[in-house]
Amino acid sequence: MTKKYTGGKIFTALTYVFLYAPIIVLIVFSFNSTKSRTIWSGFTLNWYKELFSDRLIMSSLQTTLLVSVVASLVAAVIGTFAAIGFYNMKKNWRGPLLTVNNIPVINADIITGVSLSLLFVSAGALMGFELGFGTLLIAHISFDIPYVILSVMPKLYQLDRNLFEASQDLGCTWFQTVYKVIIPEIMPGIINGLLIAFTMSVDDFVISYFTAGSSVQTLSMTIYAMTRRRISPKINAISTLLFAVVLILLVIVNVRESRQHKAELKKEKMLKGAN
């Protein structure tokens, strides 16, 4: 039985090698003492030191974090309320609206970016503003909200409708029901959506590229500009740091989730025991 799948296992292992080889190269050469990306000439931490004194990289990192944090938080708020609204809509309204909601998710990034830049450029010409942080933020919020909605909607459908009917029967207004019953119940979905939105924002290059104008730069845009010109190992250094951060976050989230899972199993067992 086990022997039967050996081929598949080897193939899978090779695929993981394929997925990680470039990343390992990237990390290894962030410690290289010369600027070469291919010849190893000794260990150094200089690129990390220089990274933190590079004003362009630091300011674009700041822009990326600011845009991602603000956009994902705003998206979480608008998206959660929108999801609750959609949930209470008649199906013949909800369906088309959810389809429009899916457009930025399914559409090619370049089209989302280009179409928003058309809007911003023509609105800017009319109202006298230029592409910049504001347009970048609006673009990010726009492509973040659908992910929040897609993650909150299933949680709403899992809700027991009796729950908030009960709360209303007990004298809660609709707003109180939302704040005291619905939102706490769908919180895991909101958090999940927030995290997805945040990673989408951090990772985005194409949409930012078309909507940020020339005055602000996100980290991705700086990296892109660098790969087009002279390439510095500082790129390797910053990517290694980002990789480390993501890895640590993932481990924390995973450990927390498996703990929760275990706690739930325990609870179930106890309940069964009580019966």
- We find the least distance from the C-beta atom of residue 272 to another protein, in angstroms, to be 21
Specify the residue, 60 or 275, whose C-beta has the smaller distance to another protein: 60
52 binds another protein (CB under 8 A): no
Specify the residue, 48 or 205, whose C-beta has the smaller distance to another protein: 205
Which parts of 234-273 interact with another protein (CB under 8 A)? 235, 239, 242-243, 246-247, 250, 254
Q: What's the CA gap between 30 and 236, in Å, rounded?
A: 5
Which parts of 55-114 interact with another protein (CB under 8 A)? 78-79, 81-86, 88-90, 93, 97, 100-112, 114
Which parts of 5-24 interact with another protein (CB under 8 A)? 5, 8-9, 11-12, 15-16, 18-23
Number of residues that bind another protein (CB under 8 A): 87
If one counts every other C-beta atom within 10 angstroms of the C-beta of residue 250, the result is 10
Which parts of 215-234 interact with another protein (CB under 8 A)? 219-220, 223-224, 227-228, 231
- Which of 33, 44, 30, 34 is CA-nearest to residue 238? 30
User: For residue 115, what are its two tokens?
Assistant: 């179409």
- We find the least distance from the C-beta atom of residue 155 to another protein, in angstroms, to be 11
Specify the residue, 229 or 273, whose C-beta has the smaller distance to another protein: 229
25 binds another protein (CB under 8 A): yes
Which parts of 115-154 interact with another protein (CB under 8 A)? 115-119, 121-122, 138-139, 141-142, 145, 147, 150-151, 154
- Which of 227, 232, 192, 196 is CA-nearest to residue 209? 227
- Which of 145, 156, 134, 248 is CA-nearest to residue 196? 145
Specify the residue, 97 or 172, whose C-beta has the smaller distance to another protein: 97
Q: What's the CA gap between 222 and 228, in Å, rounded?
A: 10
Which parts of 173-212 interact with another protein (CB under 8 A)? 174, 178, 196, 199, 202-203, 205-206, 209-210
